[in-house]
């Protein structure tokens, strides 16, 4: 049975699809594609059906040589049941996700993405949407760090190799 990860930000066009695609890239590099499955969602409905932001895609392409795939969707209550770990990009996303878990039974599944960073001391992944190119590049670097730490965490928990 595959371990399922869900990355969540506000609109699901910048941070969470980047995290999903970076994680998929690392998973493929480590031959774990049959063991870990990734998806992403947004807490809002602003961009449902939209592809990842072109500026985010440019940063991922330039820094990592990857194309961001996927279409924005909104976080759903069923995601609590369907995923093993839900990773919020910032505290507001985290609170919005937990708000939907009225019984509190899934709160152990929800974590902040930056909890898995080892090189950066950020506590949240900043939203680059209204910023310049450097903000998008910074988000890619931060997410690579967090995804590497997350993969190590899952490996330690699940002994995937």
Catalytic residues, by residue number, are 9, 15, 127
Torsion of CA 121, 126, 131, 137, to 10 degrees: 60
- Which residue carries 């950020």 as its tokens? 122
DSSP designation for 122: -
Can you tell me whether residue 8 is helix, strand or coil?
Answer: strand
Distances in Å between the Cα of 96 and the Cα atoms of 12, 38, 40, 91, 130 are 14, 20, 15, 8, 21
């Amino acid at each position: 049975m595959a371990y399922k990860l869900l990355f969540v930000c506000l609109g699901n066009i910048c941070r969470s699809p980047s995290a999903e695609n970076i994680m998929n890239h690392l998973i493929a590099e480590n031959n774990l594609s049959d063991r870990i499955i990734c998806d992403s969602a947004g807490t809002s409905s602003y961009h449902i059906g939209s592809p990842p932001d072109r500026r985010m895609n440019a940063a991922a392409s330039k820094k990592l040589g990857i194309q961001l795939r996927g279409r924005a969707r909104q976080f759903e209550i069923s995601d609590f049941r369907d995923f093993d770990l839900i990773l919020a990009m910032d505290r507001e996303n985290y609170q919005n996700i937990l708000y939907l878990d009225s019984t509190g039974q899934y709160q152990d599944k929800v974590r902040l993405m930056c909890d898995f960073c080892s090189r950066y001391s950020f506590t949240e992944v900043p939203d680059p949407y209204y910023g310049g190119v450097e903000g998008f590049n910074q988000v890619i670097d931060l997410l690579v760090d967090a995804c590497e730490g997350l993969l190590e965490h899952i490996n330690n928990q699940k002994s995937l190799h």
